Amino acid sequence: MRILWNTRCVSKGVTLVVAILASPALVFTQSAPPEAERRASQLSPFTADDMLKVATGVVLDLAEDGSRVAVVVRRLIDNDSVDHRRYGDPTYLPPLRGRLEIVDVKTGAKEMPFTELINVRSAAWSRDGQRLAILVPREAATADGFPTTALYLWDVARRSLTEIKPSQPIAVNSSLAWTPDGSSLVIALRSAELDREARTTFKTLTEGPVIVHKSSEPFLEWDLLGRSARTRSVATLNLSTGTVRAVVPQGRISSYQVARDGSFMIVMEDVTEK
């Protein structure tokens, strides 16, 4: 350590003496260790390809006892074939493929019900946390076709996946809710005729030679088309027989929630006039 003295005349008759304690770290700039320089030279830049491979996890549902959580992990690189020309088409199913993981909250252990990437949109745990209902929308087989859905049950104890085939097709935008006894699911239904009407309207608005919008009508056609996806009914699905029983008639249903004891249901319906 060195002591540097600096004597300066501040005013007449007053001399200021400053002592600076100088260490080698203050006087000289130390270079980085060779090992750090070597590691820095080996780092590769973050590229656009790396960005496409970034994984994002979305929690679908947490078991009531907090023991397990259903998570879907998605990457942009697995969903790069979006047809932006179909934006606003209620019958178009943009890809949201991902890896479904069942995670044990205490141990972090993971189970994969599906070996392939799936387009899962909704999942719900049963009250006892032993079964997971999984709704998987499927893209249309042809360009003129419409998306369909498949319903699966994951059994935690057996580690098995079973497909449930309902008597009526489940809506692509359906949510899932269990009845208290675990025998049924509350689902949303949508007729194929509604999809055909929506597809026809979309083609008219986007491919027609002349498109006219009138402010005198309750809704502009484009807004009305966007709201048409809410037109559906609510029903219960018996998991043993696959039979469907209507609960709420068809309407513009925004959301629905089953009471804890299953005695009633809260339904939000879109009744906006303009």
pLDDT for 171-208, tens place per residue? Answer: 999 999 999 999 999 999 999 899 999 999 999 888 87
In this prediction, the residues of the chain whose per-residue pLDDT falls under 50 are 1-28
pLDDT of residue 38: 72
Query: Which pLDDT score, from 0 to 100, does residue 46 have?
Result: 85
Task: Tell me the whole-structure pTM to 2 decimals.
Answer: 0.80
DSSP the chain: -EEEEEEEEEETTEEEEEEEEE-HHHHSPPPPPHHHHHHHHHPPPP-HHHHHT-EEEEEEEE-TTSSEEEEEEEEGGGS----GGGTT-TT------EEEEEEETTT--EE-S-SS-B---EEEE-TTSSEEEEEEEE--SSTTS--EEEEEEEETTTTEEEEE--SSPBPTT---EE-TTSSEEEEEE--HHHHHHHHHHHHHHHH-S-----TTSSS-HHHHHHHGGGEEEEEEEETTT--EEEEEEEEEEEEEEE-TTSS-EEEEE-----
Could you tell me the domains of the chain?
2-42 (no CATH), 48-269 (2.120.10)
